Structure formats: C-alpha cells, structure tokens
Amino acid sequence: MAEGWDYRKAGLDLDIYEQTLGRIAALLHRTQDPFRVLPPPFPPRRGGKGSSGFAALFDLDPNAWLFRRRYKHPVLVACTDGVGSKLKLATLCQRYDTVGIDLVAMSVNDLICTGGEPLMFLDYLALPKDDPDWTATLIRGISEGCQQADCSLVGGETAILPDTYQPGDFDMAGFAVGVVERDRIVDGRHIRPGDLIIGLASTGPHSNGYTLIRKIVFEAAGLHIDDEVPECGARVGELLLTPTRIYVRPIRRLIAHYPVKKRVLRGFAHITGGGIIDNLARILPPTCRAIVHRGRWPLPAVFTWIQRLGNVPDAEMFRVFNMGIGFTIVCAPAFANSIVSQLEKMSYPAWIIGEIQAGEVGVDII
C-alpha cells in the first residue's frame, strides 16, 4: 500500500512553521507601544506563544494616548508597497537583513507625504519553504524599520508556497496605517509660484530601478557581488543593498514645529520610481511648474558608477532613479533656509534644489 500524504510531504512542515512563529514574536513586541496596541487576550501557551486572535487591535479611545495628541478630526491614512526586484539582489548576496527596512520605508515614506503619522504596520512574506532563520532575519529588518518610523509592527502573514516560488525566490509586501488631523493634511493644494523646493538626501537607489541595475551590473558589466567599487568604497553587493532612508522623524518634527495656519510646509513628495520628475509633479496644482537645478546637491557616486557602466543617458537616469534626493519638501520661501538648518541638525542632509513657477504642471531639471 502506498505511503499516505500529509502536509510535510506536500512541502510544508507545520512543526517548523510553529518554530518560525515563536522566533518572530519578540521582534513584533519591541515595536509596540502598550498604550496603543492591545495585548493578546490569553497568556502564552507552551513554547512561549500567545494567541492574538485573527487580527491586531489598536486602541482609538478618545481619552487615551492618540487623541491626547490633539487629534480633533482624525483621518486614517493607508499605504501599501513592496521592495521589488531588489529582493533578487538580496537572494544573490544571501543577505536578508536590510530589505525589511526597505519594505517599511516604501510605505511610511509615502504615508508622511500627507502630513500623517504612521501608527501600525503589517507585512506579508511569501517563501518557497519554511525556514525559521530566514524568516526571522527578514522580520528583524522590518522590526528595525518600524522602530525608525516610530510605528508598531502589529502582525502579518507568512505564506509557504513551494509550487509558486522556486528555491531562493521570495516576495514581501507591506501595509501601513496612520492618522492625520483633517485641517493639517498636506496635499499640495497650497503650493504657489515663488515657493522653494528642498531635497533630502537619499542613501542611494533606495528600492527603485533594480531591474535596470541588475542588467547593467551583472549582465552587461559582468561584475560579481564581491567585486570592489573603488569610487564608492564598497563591494557591489554591500553598496546595492544599502537600505532606503526613512524620513518619518524629521518630517514629523517639522510638522510639529510650524503652526498649521502659516502653511509653511505646502507639499511633500517621496522620490521613488519615476524619479524627481514624476513624483514631484504628483503634488503640483494645475498652474504650477517645478524647476529643479541639478547642480545644487552632490550626486552620490553610486549613480555615476551605474551610468558609466551602462552608458545610460542623463534623461533616463533622472527618470528611473532618485539621483540622490529621496524626499522633497515644497515650502514657503521665507522658511526654506531655516528648514534646511533644522534638517541638518537632525542629521538629514538637505539642500534648496529648486523653485515653483507659474506654468503647466510638470518638472524641469536644468
């Protein structure tokens, strides 16, 4: 008689899955404010795991922490994003401790473009097999990103899909929820000609353009992850896995610093796929055009290296990559120098990189 089937034979070991869950609990707890995230209803069972039901609970008690922050008309903000083909590079390098930071960054940096405050984050991991060490490393990066963003990692899902993903392949998605006071929403509607544009430094390509990067670096140039890049002072794999910078803390501090009635901070743009050209244009009113002066900030060496290796035209570089500017602020001109100074004191390099003029919606890089 043929041997019977069970889940382990089909490719998923539930005992290993239990080990995985036990490994990641502490990584969630270290991000959670006990006054906001409600604890599990039952004490931990054998093996140190507790039951949290089927969903995370976040306290919106009007007398509790959230509304003591003077949210009179709170509006929820929600974002979702992934890391993209940068995951292929993580697999190639067998290094998984940074892409979790990227995952958080891609959502929370979008969320703060509304002026909102990130509250909680959930993740989705899809793997070809259950591997407690691999999963814990990925979640550790997500946990680190949530700590940098001052938001709580409240849960997630790990899907084991051996028939969908080849060995070594995996995917990640993230979901962020935040809150913004209705009369403090930042959406670009107050942008006007004469306003100035401030650019905040990126840490490199962040999580965009990696399909092009991999084609250039590994296929066209034939480089290896351990090859040195002298002009960047790093090896290829280390350089390209630098995590995305998270801008939550400096933007939240600026929002708290300036009274809403002054409308000092008029627009925020997270510079992701499409570069400065596409992303800054998304927040411009119908009669405003942005002029960005490319010589006003230092171009990180990683971009000149990529451009040289692939003989990539300037226009394509600025359309695909952030080119050293990971986030932009459009502000009232009288406050621009002060904002740059504050950002520098918070260890976020920033420059006045352009201005708003009357004209058709769009961005010119000159």
* Residue 250 exposure: Cα atoms within 13 Å on the Cβ side: 23
Please state, as a whole number, how many other Cβ atoms lie within 10 Å of the Cβ of residue 166: 8
Joined tokens for residue 28: 């969630």
Q: What confidence tier does 127 reach under pLDDT thresholds 50, 70, 90?
A: very high
Mean pLDDT, rounded, for 69-96:
91
Number of H helices, E strands in the chain: 13, 12
* pLDDT at 57 > cutoff 80: no
**For residue 176, with 0-12 CB atoms within 10 Å meaning exposed, 13-18 middle and 19 or more buried, which class applies?**
buried
From the list 93, 114, 279, the residue with the least C-alpha distance to 199 is 279
Say what the pLDDT of residue 46 is.
45
* pLDDT at 176 > cutoff 80: yes
Q: State whether residue 272 is helix, strand or coil.
A: coil
- Angle formed by the axes of helices 14-29 and 132-149, to 10°? 20
CA distances in angstroms from 33 to 58, 66, 103, 120, 197, listed in the order given: 10, 11, 21, 10, 35
CA distances in angstroms from 83 to 101, 129, 181, 326, listed in the order given: 9, 20, 29, 15
pTM as predicted: 0.89
Please state, as a whole number, how many other Cβ atoms lie within 10 Å of the Cβ of residue 126: 16
* pLDDT at 93 > cutoff 80: yes
Element (H, E) at 82: strand 74-82
Mean pLDDT, rounded, for 205-226:
96
DSSP characters for 279-304?
HHHTT--TTEEEEE-GGGSPPPHHHH
* pLDDT at 289 > cutoff 70: yes
Spell out the domain ranges in the chain: 7-51+58-184, 196-365
CA distances in angstroms from 355 to 22, 263, 288, 319, 341, listed in the order given: 52, 17, 10, 19, 18
Say what the pLDDT of residue 48 is.
44
* pLDDT at 351 > cutoff 50: yes
Say what the pLDDT of residue 68 is.
62
Q: Pick the more confident residue, 5 or 99.
A: 99
* pLDDT at 187 > cutoff 50: yes
Mean pLDDT, rounded, for 60-80:
76
Say what the pLDDT of residue 65 is.
58
Q: Pick the more confident residue, 356 or 7.
A: 356
Phi, psi of 57 (to 5 degrees): -120, 130
Which CATH entry fits the domain spanning 196-365: 1.10.630.10, 3.90.650.10, 3.30.2320.80, 3.90.45.10? 3.90.650.10
According to DSSP H, which parts of 229-354 are helical? Answer: 236-240, 248-257, 275-281, 301-310, 314-320, 336-345
Question: Which residue carries 């394509």 as its tokens?
Answer: 316
Say what the pLDDT of residue 49 is.
44
Which CATH entry fits the domain spanning 7-51+58-184: 3.30.420.40, 2.40.110.10, 1.10.10.10, 3.30.1330.10? 3.30.1330.10
Q: Report the alpha-carbon distance of residue 366 to residue 352 in Å, rounded.
A: 14
Sheet holding 325-331, edge to edge: 265-270, 325-331, 196-201, 350-358, 288-292, 362-365
**For residue 360, with 0-12 CB atoms within 10 Å meaning exposed, 13-18 middle and 19 or more buried, which class applies?**
exposed
Across the chain, mean pLDDT equals 89
Joined tokens for residue 308: 């040289």
